[in-house]
Chains A and B, each alone.
Chain A
Amino acid sequence: MTDDTFVNIDFGGESLRLLPDKAVLWPAAQILMVADTHFGKGEVFRRHGIAVPAGSTASSMERISRLLEKYLVEKVVVLGDFLHGKPSTELIDKIAEWSKTLPAQLVVLRGNHDRHLVDKPSQWQHITMQAELQQQLLTLRHEPATEDPSANKFSGNIICGHIHPVARLGNGRHDRLRMPVFWQQRGTGGEQLVLPSFGNFTGGYRIEPARGTRLYLAGDEQVIAI
């Protein structure tokens, strides 16, 4: 198949595919990964009297469903910050309903925003929650081992989220563009891959290019290595 919308990378001895729409496919392990969905962020704002329109959470769910239609996998793993804040019962129900429709097992790794999920809601029978996931030689979890772009020592291979990496293109006052990126760092002892945040309503942390760093722009239709 000649499809140049995605990029294959070598990571910790495994072959990973960086997909458009901010997801990572690990074909050998039958896993699809996304990070930082921040479900329910809009409703947290609305509860505080800030008029944010509804729709971003539903659209994120829809995007995950569509990815799973396209890629047949056993598991879809959310690398933390599944929820943004304390969820309403409506949201818990909505997520439960949605999880039942998914053709793969939904695994949620706890992130710092998920502190309201100490106990898994009883409606979520179809969802597995855990702190991290070890698979072959890779560790999937929420927080990176380092946020330092110049770090060059790692112990093991970590795939994570948490920091919402973005890169800035262009330098003019009228001509600037921020794009979410996959951020790969290679060093001695292992490497680290940080996924861009999946949610539509999430900010970003700007990554400056550095030695040993590789960035992949996560466009909606195309991933481009830079």
Chain B
Amino acid sequence: MATGSQTSKANTESDGDSLVQLDQVEAWFADRDWKIADFQREVWREYAAGHSGLIHSPTGSGKTLAAWFAPLLSLPRPASGKPPTIKVLWITPLRALAVDTFENLNKPVADLELPFTVGLRTGDTTASERTKQRRRLPSALVTTPESTSLLLSYVETARQFSGLECVVVDEWHELLGSKRGVLLQLALARLRTLAPGLKVWGLSATIGNTQEAADALHGSVPHDPSPKSNTLLPCLVRGESEKINEIRPIIPTEISRFPWSGHMGLKLLPEVIERIDQANTTLLFANTRSQAERWYEALLAARIDWIDKIAIHHGSLNKKLRLKVESMLRAGSLKIVVATSTLDLGVDFSPVEQVIQVGSPKGIARLLQRAGRSGHRPGATSAVLCAPAHALELVEIAAARQAASEGKIEARRPPRLSLDVLVQHVVTMALAGGVDPDALYTEARSTYAFNALTDDAWQWVLDFVIRGGPALQVYPQYQRVMLEDGLLKVTSRRIATQHRMAIGTITADASMKVQFQRGGYLGMVEESFISRLKPGDVFLFTGRPLELLRVRDMAAQVKLATGSKKSIVPRWAGGRMALSGELSDSVLQLLGEADNGQFNGLEMQAVQPLLQLQQRVSALPRMGRLLIERSRSRDGISVFIYPFAGRLVHEGLAALLAYRISQQQKITFTFSANDYGFELLSRDEIPFTEEHFRSLLTPDNLLTDIRASINASEMARRQFRDIARIAGLVMQGYPGSQKTTRQVQASSGLLYDVLVDYDPDNRLPQQAEDEVLSAQFELTRLQQTLQRMTDWEYLLTEPARLTPLAFPLWAELQGSRLSSESWQERVRKMQQRLEEVSGGDW
């Protein structure tokens, strides 16, 4: 079929009509005063030629319609006039997006009266609707990666997929870097087997590794040696981005002499309120939920008249509340929404006029995406106002603008060889009526995530699901997957139900309901946060001060706090995001310019006095120069080191250095880290020479030393929670079955210990350790940082007092304590604490 030209109508007669004609599509666009973009025609052409591909653009729109009309223009119009069963699977990362997408896809279908049905299936879909879908799927289904796996676990739906023509993966960049992306890669491999010739199209924001994103989406097709397959290589299509993204600062009227990283940026509250006043609708993004809660509270305290026009939106909120906020935002009835990354994704909130980012932008891609929340229409300009939380963040804002203009955008690395996900996938496939293990192996190896899967690792996975462990070890009573007539099968109904329950929970952090004593449900909060609170403690949640009463049945019961109790703002995991490598480098470049006396742009001019002070009393770090400062105080001797490699790397480096120093002398350190550098504080002297620091910062023996320095196994033990759940070691309780599941609830830490003690060949603990190193310390980046610093100049200074760069570290020093003393000695210290508490009664 020809597309992309006016002649399409002429040759549709020959081979039967397609579902929709190009001129109908053109008319539909014209009715809306829209123009078909060149890239959209390109996608339709490529699709018609049988190609898969990835459509990427920095921001901007039109990707959805490009991908949606491609199959509609190619699919044949059913002779019977009845809508066909499942032809297009549309996968979206968020349930919240699914509803929106469903409406967007359904619109042209309804307008053009196509014999095509669009359905929706997510974790929210009712049981009766699901059962109906299982018997007969709609022509196109909007769903999530988890629901896709779930559909593949049923024989009857898996069978229907043999007629599938096209899978569209929306916001692929969001899934790419996570295990959900890995799960989806495996599901796509399965779908390619079930439906040969399947076309897969991804929609993605532009990221630093677009080609890798495409590779991960399409996998490789190892068993298609036909020469023709070369012409079917997936293509990259660059989408339209007419949008000019503007990044502008809100400059504080008075630059505080010392930047303070501890506060939340509320110093700029008056300036921010002024901006909010000027626009109809503002989206205010915070970096963490705690920051969002604080801002919500502060805005409301300052402007009580906004009470019915202000809302808060973050991932811990109850779904109903979140949906309500979203629909009010869409209707334009809100003046301001304080949000975290939950509103980063592509839901269309046209009324948003202005976007404000509070605090460090942390990354370029992230800031651009947030900027794109305003003016969310083709051709409209998007802008973001940045409100720095401390003076040095002005440099970050300038750096972000510069990097964005140079097109430097962060990469998102897809995880490789996540065996926990593979374990889950194998069981899922075994549910669907039996699968040949060899075929499954080939299929898994066709994915990007598992193309380096070894025979050994695969054998371990099979042993694990069939026997529970290595073949020679006795695992009595174990049953999960059976090997019958050469096929992997799940025969137990209970195991099947259990597993299907677990598929959907791949993303869930261990979280706990927050509810009023009488049952009013407020939302979810991380269990780790609640576990740090005592009954009677007050915390801010959904903009309200709540007092914890008790924790019961995985729910935190609360009441509204009264009186003037000081509240703790929840610290959610999101707060630990590090400044990206691209942005850090860009900051170093600007500092280098400042070192040369150049201060270009509003931000740099505003922060000039501060940087000059830093230069005068110590020195400015720059690309190619590592600054190390030493200062003395009543607390002891502080060494500040500034590699500018992001908070996580600095935490790792601090632990590494503390460990390496402690190998030479008996010494105890306290340390703190931020995005610029880290501080080591000790009572004892360490040699302050370039030679010494070069030897401490050597990349040699990194892995051994870092493992020794951070108590990697203890951290891996905590990291094990996710892995244990994904691999099916931790059972999800489900309604009506508490009694039977309680006996098989074990903390993941406990399971970790048992595996390490009694099954040394189990590969999951090792995976936990690898994950901990990359997640907690960005190990690869840490390695690169040490490597590149070997060529850097070392500049050691001894300023008389704390410098502007040192001050935030000093102020934040409450961080981890790291000690090279034995645990008995630690016990002695604990004893002192206990004596104080017990009042020496004994």
Question: Which residues of A are at the interface with B, using a C-beta cutoff of 8 A?
Answer: 41-56, 59, 84-85, 88, 90, 113, 169-177, 200-203, 209-215, 217, 224, 226
Contact = CB atoms under 8 A, between A and B. Distances in A.
Interface residues of B, number: 57
B754 A56 contact: yes
B711 to A, nearest CB: 6
B831 interface: yes
A224 B499 CA distance: 44
B468 A52 contact: yes
Given A50-B728, A51-B729, A217 B711 contact: no
Contact of B819 (A46, A175, A202, A214): A175
Nearest to A55: B758
A217 B743 CA distance: 27
Contacts of B319: none
23 contacts: A43-B476, A44-B743, A44-B744, A46-B476, A50-B731, A50-B744, A51-B480, A52-B729, A52-B751, A52-B754, A53-B758, A54-B474, A59-B758, A88-B476, A88-B477, A174-B655, A174-B715, A174-B816, A175-B818, A200-B757, A201-B746, A201-B750, A210-B837
A169 B827 contact: yes
B531 to A, nearest CB: 9
Contacts of A224: 824, 827
A226 B831 contact: yes
A113 B762 CA distance: 29
B464 interface: yes
Contacts of A176: 714
B816 A173 contact: yes
Given A56-B754, A173-B816, A49 B478 contact: yes
A226 B715 contact: no
Contact of A49 (B495, B711, B743, B816): B495
A174 B818 contact: yes
Contacts of A53: 468-469, 473, 475, 754-755, 758-759, 762
A101 to B, nearest CB: 21
B467 to A, nearest CB: 8
B37 interface: no
A202 B750 CA distance: 7
Contacts of B826: 169-170, 177
A172 B817 contact: yes
A85 B742 CA distance: 10
A48 B710 contact: no
Contacts of A42: 754
A55 B757 contact: yes
Contact of B817 (A45, A170, A177): A170
Contact of A51 (B464, B494, B715, B817): B464
B274 interface: no
Nearest to B715: A174
Nearest to A222: B824
Contacts of A226: 827, 830-831, 834
B99 to A, nearest CB: 35
Contacts of A171: 817
Given A48-B744, A49-B499, A173-B815, 4 more contacts: A41-B746, A52-B468, A177-B826, A209-B833
A61 B757 CA distance: 16
Contacts of B464: 51
Of A49, A171, A200, most B-chain CB atoms within 10 Å:
A49
A46 B475 contact: yes
A84 B750 CA distance: 15
Q: Which 6 pairs from chain A and chain B are nearest by CB?
A: A172-B816, A51-B468, A53-B759, A55-B758, A53-B758, A49-B480
B830 A51 contact: no
Contacts of B837: 209-211
B479 A49 contact: yes
A74 B838 CA distance: 37
Interface in B785-820: 815-819
Nearest to A58: B758
A139 B186 CA distance: 59
A5 B477 CA distance: 39
Contacts of A173: 815-816
A174 B753 CA distance: 18
Contacts of B476: 43, 46, 54, 88, 90
Of A84, A113, A213, most B-chain CB atoms within 10 Å:
A213
Nearest to B470: A53
Contact of B841 (A45, A202, A211, A217): A211
A114 to B, nearest CB: 12
Interface in B727-770: 728-731, 743-744, 746-747, 750-751, 753-755, 757-759, 762
A209 to B, nearest CB: 5
Contacts of B499: 49
Contacts of B731: 48, 50
Of B473, B728, B750, B754, most A-chain CB atoms within 10 Å:
B754
Interface in B708-723: 710-711, 714-715
Contacts of B7: none
Given A170-B817, A171-B817, A209 B477 contact: no
B295 to A, nearest CB: 26
A185 to B, nearest CB: 11
Nearest to A177: B823
A45 B711 CA distance: 29
Contacts of B815: 172-173
Contacts of B492: 49
B827 A210 contact: no
Contacts of B746: 41, 45, 52, 201, 203
Given A46-B476, A47-B477, A209-B837, A203 B750 contact: yes
Nearest to A85: B743
Nearest to B824: A224
Interface in B469-496: 469, 473-480, 492, 494-495
A194 to B, nearest CB: 17
B754 A201 contact: yes
Contacts of A113: 743
B473 to A, nearest CB: 7
B498 interface: yes
Contacts of A43: 476-477
Contacts of B478: 46-47, 49, 51
B754 A200 contact: yes
B838 A210 contact: yes
Contacts of A170: 817, 826
